Structure 1
Amino acid sequence: MAAEPDHVDDIVTAWHVQLPGVAGLPLELAKRSALLTAAFDEVAARALEKLGLTQAEYGVLAVLRRTGEPYRLKPTDLTHALLLSSGGTSNLLKRLVAAGLVTREAALDDGRSSWVRLTPEGVAAAEAAVRAVTAAHARVVARIPEEQAGRLNALLKDVLAAVEEGILLRR
């Protein structure tokens, strides 16, 4: 069963009239994936707001929590994992330290470096946030039949691998 025409179809139709040959499958994929990402981001932001967290703060807490005990990383590892600048990471860490969710400890093996570690309160906040975001994301996809969602996930994995390979080949 084909889906009803949507907002992206309207955009493509308008471009066909205004600048024939420009709009096609790449535009449709870009727009639909952006809309899907926006839907996931919106529900995550609402869930995190209830917990007093921003999405960036959640990113730090989630990365640290998924590393397993002792729930710590060096700031440079966080910066890479979160795709942030070192200044952006530093600002986030200052807020999370002030909130009592993380601590910064000197690295014994390198006097110029430190470790960022979740506090017990940070572990609890991270787990609550991950559960809240996961539940919010589940609500986004709740109307998609499980088999269809599984196929979509497998296709997206293949597509992302091809896109990433293409980007790497161009560097």
Structure 2
Amino acid sequence: MADEVDAIAAAWLAERPDLDVEPLHILSRIARLAQLLDERRAQAFAEHGLASHEFDVLAALRRSGHPYERTPGQLIEATHVTSGTMTNRLDRLAERNLITRKAHPEDGRQLLVRLTALGRRRVDAALQELLSSERALLGGLSPAQRRLLAGGLRRLLHTLADR
């Protein structure tokens, strides 16, 4: 069951037999999967009126549990963006009534961002769509293959995070 990555690796091996092209077999496939997943996720979120980056913020709030609120700093940490980027995202989400912002009751210098009922419905529906789409993508793998793949990717991420 050869694919485009096999062809690319074989071509490099023919041209540069002195190189070990094994990383291409794994990381090029991960790159192609990432592109496919980005497209599928964007489509699932768009069906619910959200961009991927908006889903990230709303999902971070939703995962936080009732009352579904966090400080902007906590959201920055959860979504890995800069403070300026987060401010812009929060402004747009507030304009659409998906979040509210209020002064932190214990520290007036900080804000609390809260998921609105509309925001909660929107992120829940988008998550359901996402999981359905991604479950279909994994349909060709057995449960054992999915567990093995998840474990290998987890180890790879841990290895890369330690560098």
1:63 aligns with 2:28: no
Figure out how many residues of one structure are paired with residues of the other and give that number. Answer: 163
- Percent of aligned pairs with the same amino acid: 34
Aligned residues of 1:101 and 1:118 also touching (Cα < 8 A): yes
Stretch moving more, 136-145 or 94-103: 136-145
1:17 aligns with 2:9: no
What secondary structure does 1:117 align onto? strand
What's 2:161 paired with? Answer: 164
What CA distance in whole angstroms lies between the structure 2 residues aligned with 1:38 and 1:75?
28
What CA distance in whole angstroms lies between the structure 1 residues aligned with 2:129 and 2:93?
19
User: What TM-score, normalized by structure 2, do the two folds share?
Assistant: 0.93
Aligned residues of 1:40 and 1:140 also touching (Cα < 8 A): no
What CA distance in whole angstroms lies between the structure 2 residues aligned with 1:139 and 1:120?
29
User: What TM-score, normalized by structure 1, do the two folds share?
Assistant: 0.89
Aligned residues of 1:12 and 1:23 also touching (Cα < 8 A): no
Stretch moving more, 106-115 or 45-54: 106-115
| Unmatched segments (≥5 aa) in structure 1 | none
What CA distance in whole angstroms lies between the structure 2 residues aligned with 1:5 and 1:14?
13
What CA distance in whole angstroms lies between the structure 1 residues aligned with 2:18 and 2:30?
21
| Unmatched segments (≥5 aa) in structure 2 | none
What's 2:48 paired with? Answer: 51
What CA distance in whole angstroms lies between the structure 2 residues aligned with 1:21 and 1:11?
16
C-alpha displacement at 1:143, in angstroms?
A: 1.4
C-alpha displacement at 1:108, in angstroms?
A: 2.2
Aligned residues of 1:103 and 1:118 also touching (Cα < 8 A): yes
1:80 aligns with 2:77: yes
Aligned residues of 2:13 and 2:19 also touching (Cα < 8 A): yes
C-alpha displacement at 1:22, in angstroms?
A: 4.0
Residue from 2, 5, 8 that aligns with 1:5? 2
What's 1:101 paired with? Answer: 98
